[in-house]
Amino acid sequence: MPIEFKEGGSDYSLGVEEELPIVDATTGELVQKIEEIMSRLPTELHESVSYELFQSVMEIKTPPCASTSEVEKHLRELRSRVGSWAAACGASLASAGTHPFSRYRDQKVTDQERYKNVLRTLRWIAQREVIFGQHVHVAVPGPEEAIIAHNRLAEQTPILLALSANSPFWQGFDTGFESARVKIFESFPRAGLPPAFPDYEAFERYVDLMVESGAMEDYTFCWWDVRPHPKIGTIELRVLDSQTSLKNTLALTALTQCLVAQVLEEVGPHKPYNMHLAVENKFRAARYGMDAAFYDIHDKITVPARDLARNLVERLKPHAQDLGCESELEGVLEIVEGGTGSQRQREIYKESGNFLDVVAFLIEGTRPALAEEQS
């Protein structure tokens, strides 16, 4: 069955979603406060804040934005205002890809039928999904352009993940991974790297097969690292860990937008990506973060992640200039030189040996006024 794609997104407009952990302001533990916070939010914020699988998580989301500077305006306001309402409930927002020590067994599912169905179907796999990501939507002109962007963003997933890595701790121990979050989420069906589709019709056939087989209700149950989102006319990047620093959020948003613009403005041919190699490179990104080295199948060489990121920023500068996100794209280099969220978390823990100090760092860094200092 054809899946109608909302066409017309030729300006690469943006939308960003941040999944944010809700923690007790005193103990630092994840706390089931979403209902209380939502009940207090002013009406004008209701469309910008939504539920997630568990009651200790919320999602904030921008409307469609013309630029990364507009994304910043909305996210800064949302982090500030929603954070204030959380504080009124005795809670704080502490953005990261995982919580350092809270137990997944202690979390309560959100009282909505979609989430209850997910838990009934996936059981232990869903129970462990106490993880938090940043999603970036970029508008594209039409369905075939969505598939071109889908394949190229999937190919670039390893470096995007390495830059965003912000989940080293899980259940009170150091996992040894820079992004434990993605390894947890890969246990979901239809998660991880997506199929390499040759065209939009192949995507439609895949969705038809999964729906016909009873695996899912619609394409929104494809939880891949990258996916077309026909209903709103975007390509959606989902592999990123949630960022503590708003500046890092914006850098990764600008990088994603520029990558989409680059590939859609290139002269073809556009081919499906090498999924097998991307899987290997993605593992290296999750395990080693910016200390990883990725194999480049085109040049037959292994490239350090930091060199790859620097080269990518240099190549994308003309697109950043066209899109008005030069300063945000430069933020990628600050991650390269200053360290990822995972590296910062480990530094804090090494200094004190106390996970509470890590949570305190996450709380402070999530506050918009301090986001630039914590990047």
For residue 63, cis peptide bond before it (omega within 30 degrees of 0): no
What is the pLDDT, as a whole number, of residue 374? 41
How confident is the model over 242-290, as pLDDT tens digits? 999 999 999 999 999 999 999 999 877 888 999 999 999 999 999 999 9
Per-residue pLDDT band for 8 (boundaries 50, 70, 90) equals: confident
Topology of domain 14-374 in CATH is Creatine Kinase; Chain A, domain 2 (3.30.590)
pLDDT for 269 equals 80
Q: At what angle do helices 355-366 and 341-352 cross, to 10 degrees?
A: 140
pLDDT of residue 1: 82
pLDDT of residue 369: 54
Give the Cα separation of 245 and 50 in Å (integer): 21
The whole-angstrom separation of Cα 84 and Cα 166 is 24
- Regarding beta strands 91-93 and 57-61, do their DSSP bridges make them parallel or antiparallel, or are they unpaired? unpaired
SS (H, E, C) 23-52: EECCCCCECCCHHHHHHHCCHHHHHHEEEC
Q: Answer yes or no: is pLDDT of 108 > 90.
A: yes
Residue percentage of the chain with pLDDT more than 70: 98
Mean pLDDT, rounded, for 326-337 = 98
pLDDT value of residue 7? 84
Parse the chain into domains and list their residue ranges.
14-374
Question: Span 184-193, mean pLDDT?
Answer: 97
